[in-house]
Amino acid sequence: MSDIRPLTVWNEDEQFFYDTVLDFAREKIKPLTAEMDETEQLNPSLPKQFFELGLMGIEVPEQYGGSETSFFMSILAIEALSTVDPSCAVVVDVQNTLVNNAFLNWGSEELKAKYLPQLTSSKMGSYALSEAGSGSDAFALRTKAVDKGDYWELTGQKLWITNAKEAEIYIIFANTNFELGYKGITAFIVEKDFEGFSIGKKEKKLGIRASSTCELILDGCKVPRENVLGEVGKGYKVAIETLNEGRIGIGAQMIGLAKGAFRAALAYSKEREQFGKPISSFQAVQFEFADLATQIEAASLLVYNAARLKGMGRKFVKEAAMAKLMASRVAQKVSSATIDLFGGYGFTKEYPVEKYYRDSKIGTVYEGTSNMQLQTIAKVLLAE
């Protein structure tokens, strides 16, 4: 796919920003991708470079050290990084669409002044909602928070938490009153060195292996009383609204992945010869590329539309769900097809497409499974 977008979709500043991030990804991340995937570790040099490039506070106002641009810029950064390594993209994605946005939308002025300058300059954030018994049913969480007067005491376990190993600031959801059900859920800001907090098992994963996914253990974790994000009992609103935005980020990750796999296959098709000529000269292969390109373009426009709606302050819940659903499906289809186009080489680690294929699967799972996206779309449609 071309890196040039119609100006009706991207303006010149957005195009320049995308190109800058894409150049960075190709120059600095691509040489490290295979090793990071093999070792299941994010190269320690990269987070510092993300901060220096301004990728960890894209929407955050300048007064807190951010770039003060738009949500759409965050989406472009995620897409550009994903064309090279979706593992690195999810680091930037979680920081911007989940953690920073939660602070911007729900944090008191004191909390924003304290934490956003850290999140834009040096410290990674993490967003901890999921538990063993609360995946799609996110509000079935069992982590409890007890009011101890001067502080809150959190007890429980969080599972599958992205950026958990590298993060230093965590947004953790716990229930302050189980009798109220989901209306007891509250969002807390937890720092890595708080008493009673620790990082547990690091998961070994099929894809996005360089991105850490860990268990968080809260063993009577002491959280200052003022570290409630939003209001007590309003954590369910924080979670719902933030995840709606986050789904657009996952859509961007998936279309970036699809474009990266597509470009690799397109270039290889001009080099690989069968029956004495490049496979790109065969009509069947040409039609395959035409079909894949059309699906990528359609998914991209869904993602861009959802991002624009969000940026304009308009309703975007249905559109975000559609974008994530379609982009994750297209990513899987494109990455699978590119392995076929590479032939036997596509099944080996010598070429990048097998990694794109493995990385694509998570798009149908995290930040709301495909079935949950279908449920959201249907619910909004029936309410219209």
Give the pLDDT means over successive 10-residue stretches in the chain (384 positions): 57 93 98 97 97 98 97 97 98 98 97 98 97 85 96 97 97 96 96 98 97 98 97 95 95 98 96 94 97 96 96 95 98 97 93 96 94 96 92
* Whole-number pLDDT of residue 136: 82
Give pTM, 2 decimals: 0.95
Residue 358 pLDDT: 98
Last residue of a domain, one of 123, 143, 175: 123
| Confidence (pLDDT) at 8 | 56
Q: Are residues 253 and 351 in the same domain?
A: yes
Q: Are residues 85 and 202 in the same domain?
A: no
Q: Which 3 state secondary structure label does DSSP give 222?
A: strand
In this predicted structure, what is the pLDDT of residue 325? 98
What is the per-residue pLDDT for 5?
A: 56
The DSSP string of 140-189 is: G---EEEE-SSEEEEEEEEEEEETTTT-SEEEEEEES-GGGGGGGEEEEE
Instruction: Tell me which of 131, 166, 245, 367 is the catalytic residue.
Output: 367
Tokens matching residue 318 = 């249905």
Question: Does residue 258 share a domain with residue 164?
Answer: no
Question: Of 193, 217, 233, at which residue does a domain stop?
Answer: 233
Distance CA 360, CA 207 (A): 7
Examine the domain organization and report whether 116 and 186 are in the same domain. Answer: no
* Token output for 270: 């001009």
Residues 16 and 113 grouped into a single domain: yes
At residue 3, the pLDDT reads 56
Residue 264 CA to residue 47 CA, distance in Å, equals: 26
Same structural domain, 242 and 348: yes
Distances (CA, A) of 322 to 18, 271, 357, 372, 376: 23, 36, 21, 11, 9
Q: Residue 197 belongs to what domain range?
A: 126-233
Same structural domain, 113 and 143: no
Tell me the CA end-to-end span of the chain in Å, nearest whole number. 36
Tell me whether residue 168 is one of the annotated catalytic residues.
no
Residue 163 domain-assigned?
A: yes
The answer to whether the beta carbons of residues 80 and 21 sit under 8 Å apart is: yes
Of 199, 233, 267, the last residue of a domain is 233
Count of the separate structural domains present in the chain: 3
Is 350 within a domain?
Answer: yes
Residue 7 included in any domain: no
Looking at the structure, do residues 90 and 130 belong to the same domain, yes or no?
no
Provide the Cα torsion 99, 94, 60, 106; round to 10°: -20
Single-letter residue type at 145: A
> Sign of torsion, CA 273 277 283 284?
negative
